[in-house]
Structure 1
Amino acid sequence: MRRWTYRLALFAAALIIAAGCDNGKAGNNDADVAEGKVNVVTTFYPLYYLAAGIGGENANVTNLIPAGVEPHDWTPKSRDLQTASRAQLFVYNGAGLEGWVDDFLHGTGSGGSLRTVEASQGIELIRGNPEEADAHEDHGHEGDLDVDPHTWVSPKSMLKMASNVFEAYVDADPAHKDAYESRYNELKAKLEGLDRKMTEGLADVPKRDIVVSHQAFGYLCRDYGLKQVAIMGLSPDAEPRARDLLDIAKFVKENGVKTIFFEELVSDQLAKTLAAEANVGTDVLNPLEGLTPEQEKNGDDYVTIMERNLQNLRKALQ
């Protein structure tokens, strides 16, 4: 019933868009369209970082999910459909993150003129915990209930995602291939440098277990030799069972874990409660699902926040 209602809402929104085009009235998103540039819509911050960095002056990039909003809790509105309907590229993560994407793209009424980019294409995906299926259904993860969608949390994955975005720009606007390639190579160098820092910084830590509030760090752990124990599942507000909390508290005590990590866009209550029970500290490990308004104001980006994650990991794993 919930999925049918959402489809009906998208259909209605598409009719509104069509009506606006037929009567010649300008929509509210005219400011989002730039003549002479590739207009790009991204679903959330990591993809915006890639698209804006590679597109540069040749692109106009609009990000759908605003600062401070957790992507698992977000669904598109009619104005988002209108924005995407006027773009040339739509970049989404895939791997089940945006469970609404098929209906959304159908609702744009673009008739195939909107190029879509599944940024996670080509990354070896991690299978998650099938027991989290109910939580995923509540947050739009239909169809890929046991796939971990958090590919971007590893710089190694981001390198592949950057390549996918670069290729999409060249396909959409081959006349500016050299400009896209130059900016892509610059961004690639930054991500490769971050990857080296992560590899070297985590190679010599004496401990390898991290306890996190949200099961979002599977790709980071896989790529850099760590193991995550999560209080909640792939969806950040999936409720853990009392037995799970007791098991994690026992794990923390038996394995000398000194820090329980929480994130900034969701409640830290469970992490702090568990830390108090186990008599350990807490710290931030950012899954980079979005920037806070303060981080935006301070000029933080994917690389600076991942470097901060590395510092916090190194401190916790001594």
Structure 2
Amino acid sequence: MPRALLAALLTLAVAAGCAGRAAANGFTGGKLDVVTAFYPLQFLSERVGGDAVTVTNLTKPGAEPHDVELNPRQVAQVADAGVAVHLRGFQPAVDAAVAQEAKGRSFDVASVVALQPFSDDDEDREGSKDPHVWLDPLRFATIAGKLGDRLAEADPAHAAGYRARASQLQDQLQGLDHTYAESLANCARRELVTSHEAFGYLAARYGLTQVGITGISPEAEPSPRRLAQVAAQARATGTTTIFFETLVSPKVAETIAREVGAKTAVLDPLEGLTDAEPTRGGKPQNEPQKGADYFTVMRANLAALTTALGCTS
């Protein structure tokens, strides 16, 4: 082999080895590699991380995150991440990958804010915690601050930027909380009937009562007994709107709505976003708007709530 070619191959091998070590150390191209479990954590990481990070989301856009499975490439992304951001107990496959591949390099949302139990006494969920903590802007603000500290620990060179962006995001989330509190202070009704029991934190923060047709899994089939209970409660409270969510079928909500003479509307639990633009043609009307993010969806949720609950400012 010519000496010049051998030298070139050795140079490429050294470069490849360095690149591999850089990725293994959690940085690529000078940026911290952050892997997130699902959309709200992706949003948080992008806003707090800014230009100093590269964020990879393990849940594909438009996918329902509860039962996500990871392929080998995604497990490798967890292994190479500088920080893996997840919510323990929400996605078992992600929890397993983090435990095996990212020990000492993870940020568990459930470790920095207290998760509340589900509001009902369903024996199947006895002792389980509600994961939908991001729907409370103030709890989400707490998570933002802790994530800023965690990214600063992983990447001290950019620590000031992480903490500054986290503080700015906290201010915005506190402003959102103020808007919600004012808008939901005076309402004709305070019962929130939803197809998926995802809004317990939001209901608790703003003095609402959540009535969920199904529990933690939005694709679960409610029993006839549960359907009858929700219908009776909706009639008793004068419910005018049954909420269904993005990413899953609205059929259960439509069944209750027909039963009690109510209408249906979207309330988005923000578990995943899609870039699809809703139309009145063949696409479902429960897809998020193109270009939406956490704040635009939360404001759309507030508009839907104030209309459905008969709120006045």
Is TM (by shorter chain) over 0.5? yes
* Residue 115, structure 1, aligned to residue 105, structure 2: yes
With over 3 angstroms needed to count, the CA separation of the structure-2 counterparts of 1:130 and 1:82, relative to structure 1, is farther
* Cα distance in 1 for residues equivalent to 2:260 and 2:274: 29
The answer to whether 1:193 aligns with 2:185 is no
Partner of 1:16: none
* 1:301 aligned partner: 293
Distance 1:228 1:106, change over 3 A: closer
Match of 2:42? 48
Moved more, 301-310 or 177-186: 177-186
The answer to whether the Cα contact below 8 Å between 2:68 and 2:93 also exists between their aligned partners in 1 is: no
Amino acid at match of 2:221: E
Q: Distance in 2 between matches of 1:171 and 1:125?
A: 24
5 Å matches for 1:6-85? 34-85=28-79
In structure 2, what residue type is equivalent to 1:81? V
In the other structure, the counterpart of 2:163 is 181
Deviation, 1:102, is 4.0
Aligned positions of 1:153-302 closer than 5 A: 153-294=135-276, 298-302=290-294
Segment of structure 1 superposing worse, 274-283 or 184-193 = 184-193
Which SS does the other structure have where 1:225 is aligned?
coil
Q: Does 2:114 match 1:127?
A: no
Q: CA 1:304/1:297 → structure 2, altered by over 3 Å: closer, same or farther?
A: closer
* Aligned sequence identity (%): 39
One-letter identity of the residue aligned with 1:85: A
Give the residue type in structure 2 aligned to 1:76: L
Uncovered stretches (5+) of structure 2, i.e. residues with no partner: 1-15, 278-287
What is the CA-CA distance between 1:73 and the residue it aligns to?
A: 2.8
Q: RMSD across aligned C-alpha pairs, in angstroms? A: 2.3
SS in structure 1 of the partner of residue 306 of structure 2: helix
CA distance in structure 1 between the partners assigned to 2:157 and 2:112 by the alignment: 26
Q: Secondary structure at the match of 2:189?
A: coil
Give the conservation status (yes or no) of the 8 Å contact 2:191–2:211: yes
- Deviation (angstroms), 1:300: 1.0
Q: State how far apart, in whole Å, the 2-side matches of 1:291 and 1:64 are.
A: 13
**CA displacement at 1:197 relative to structure 2:** 0.7
TM-score (normalised: structure 2): 0.83
Measured in 2, the distance between the counterparts of 1:173 and 1:237 equals 39
Name the CA shift for 1:260/1:268 in 2 (closer, same or farther; >3 Å): same
- SS of 1:55's equivalent in the other structure is helix
Residue 312 of structure 1 is matched in structure 2 by 304
TM-superposed CA distance for 1:183, in Å, is 1.4
Contact 1:48 1:62 in 2 (8 A): yes
For the residues of structure 2 that align with 1:282 and 1:297, how far apart are their CA atoms? 18
1:58 alignment partner AA: A
What is the distance in 2 between the residues matched to 1:196 and 1:176? 31
Q: Distance in 1 between matches of 2:213 and 2:95?
A: 31
Q: Residue 149 of structure 2 contacts residue 163 of structure 2 at CA under 8 Å; is this kept in 1? A: no
* SS of aligned partner of 2:248: coil
Shift of 1:202: 0.7
Question: Cα offset for 1:294?
Answer: 2.0
Using the size of structure 1 for normalisation, the TM-score is 0.82
Where does residue 282 of structure 2 map in the other structure? none
Question: Which has more radius of gyration?
Answer: 2
Please tell me whether the aligned partners of residues 208 and 226 of structure 1 are also in contact (alpha carbons under 8 angstroms): yes
Q: Could you list the per-position Cα deviations for residues 10-59 of structure 1 after superposition, in whole angstroms to 9, with x for gaps in the alignment? A: xxxxxxxxxxxxx97x99xx8x9732111100000000001010111111
